[in-house]
Amino acid sequence: MHIPDDPGFYEKFYFTPGDMGFEPIQTSVGKLGVLICWDQWYPEAARLMALKGAEILIYPTAIGWFEDDSEDEKQRQLDAWIAVQRGHAVANGLPIITVNRVGFESDDSQVLKGTQFWGNSFVFGAQGTNVLITGASKGIGAEIAKELATYGLKVWINYRSKPEIADALKEQIETAGGTAAVIKGDVSVEADWSNIIKTIVEADGAISYLVNNAGITKDKLALRMSMDDFDDVINANLKSTFIGCRDALKAMSKKRFGSVVNISSIVGEMGNAGQTNYSASKGGVNSMTKSFAKEGAARGIRFNSVTPGFIRTDMTDELKDEVKEEYTRNIPLKRFGEAKDVADAVAFLLSDHSAYITGEILKVNGGLYV
């Protein structure tokens, strides 16, 4: 297939190797597909080379800015260019290496001073490499950790106490062929969050995904609820999620890539007697997720929430049969959810299958609240 040149430009012979019958080049690191074309033909060129079996795309570029451009304008152009490259990596499911020209080129027409080329080179992957899950030692958090490990991600298991439970989960993941690490920290404490992010970035070079799962309950009727009961739940559920989202946004911005999923609750949408503090914390998480989504979008970072309904856990297993039957009657799907139902929803929202979804509150409640 021939991609026509643009008659508005003087370069008349810019083709992609695919146009000229060239095939991806087999190397020790995989099949390389080299793209040589104008930017307007880049999407089609990348698609053609991917269809020919390329495993890595290489795109030499000559992108820069005018000397008179403001610093804000330069950053805006660079951010847009990075977002485009990342988009093509996602669209083709392949890593893309872009190597940009260096130096300065004067304008012979003297209309402008000339172009200063960025000289930056980037590697854009189709997906991330690691994930941090807070409160991951047991329950829904542990199920999320096990599920995400099956996608080839290195799973960082956060715990606050009882390291033996976190270590047991790590061993379980590694026995199944996955990669995991444990990291201690109270995520309601800002200094602990900073240390967690720093440790992960130093070890792996970046943090790709975050699941804010840690949380507590202190249920009482509002008339009997102390301020300590209220503050403790707000700090553990809402404050910790804010710090995590904020610090992850800072770290992920350096790569212009990332996805965050906050574990909220159906109670944050519909309320529940005896859970004023919990309802407030999870309702706040939902609203905050939407705000972070708007702030993170320009940097290529997505924020979404999952609101589980009644999920079968050790705690629900201890309920009396008549209580479980009463709850089940109110659920249209007539059953409690499983932790894996939540884990699958999280995996979807983190993945590139949801690349155009951000600011969403995904209900996992069997139809109990729609």
Domain CATH code at residue 29: 3.60.110.10
Q: Cβ contacts of residue 295 below 8 Å, gap of 6+?
A: 249
> Based on the domain organization, do 343 and 210 belong to the same domain?
yes
- Element at 305 (helix H, strand E): strand 301-308
Give the count of beta carbons closer than 10 Å to the beta carbon of residue 314.
8
Q: How many domains, in total, are found in the chain?
A: 2
Q: Indicate whether 32 and 136 sit together in one domain.
A: no
Query: Does 30 lie in the same domain as 56?
Result: yes
40 in a structural domain: yes
- Give the residue among 308, 297, 298, 288 at the shortest CA–CA distance from 358: 297
Cα(137)–Cα(160) distance, integer angstroms: 9
Q: What is the mean pLDDT of residues 328-334?
A: 95
Please state the rounded mean pLDDT for residues 301-310.
97
Query: Does position 316 have pLDDT exceeding 80, yes or no?
Result: no
Structure-block tokens of residue 256: 């212009």
Q: Do residues 194 and 246 touch, judged by C-beta distance below 8 A? A: no
Same domain, 114 and 256: no
**Range of lowest pLDDT (109-123, 169-183, 197-211):** 109-123
Rounded to an integer, the average pLDDT of 182-205 is 96
**Domain span at residue 117?**
25-124
Residue 123: the pLDDT is: 64
Give the residue from 186, 173, 163 showing the smallest Cα distance to 142: 173
Q: What pLDDT score does 261 carry? A: 98
What's the longest Cα–Cα distance across the chain?
85
Which ranges in the chain belong to alpha helices (H)?
42-51, 71-92, 139-149, 163-175, 190-204, 227-233, 240-253, 267-270, 276-296, 314-317, 321-329, 339-350
Residue 14 lies in a domain: no
What is the pLDDT at residue 313?
84
Average pLDDT over residues 171-194: 96
Residues 294 and 160 in one domain: yes
Residue 187 falls inside a structural domain: yes
211/142 Cα distance (integer angstroms): 11
Flag the least confident range among 2-11, 86-95, 171-180, 225-234. 2-11
- The CATH number of residue 348's host domain is 3.40.50.720
Instruction: Say yes or no: 300 and 165 in one domain.
Output: yes
* pTM of this structure: 0.72
Catalytic residue among 278, 327, 356, 369: 278
Instruction: Give me 134's structure tokens.
Output: 């807070």
Amino acid letter, residue 55 = E
Q: One-letter amino acid identity for 362?
A: L
* 278 catalytically annotated: yes
pLDDT confidence band for 196 (50 / 70 / 90) = very high
Higher confidence at residue 123 or residue 327? 327
CA 65 to CA 61: how far, in whole Å? 13
- 142 SS3 class: helix
11 is a domain residue: no
- Nearest-angstrom CA–CA distance, 17 and 20: 5
Residues 67 and 179 in one domain: no
Torsion of CA 351, 125, 249, 73, to 10 degrees: -130
Q: Measuring CA to CA, which residue among 305, 313, 322, 321 is closest to residue 363?
A: 305
- Classify residue 157 as exposed, middle or buried by CB count within 10 Å of its CB (0-12, 13-18, 19+): buried
- Domain identity same for 290 and 180: yes
Residue 279 has pLDDT above 90, yes or no: yes
219 plus 260 within the same structural domain:
yes
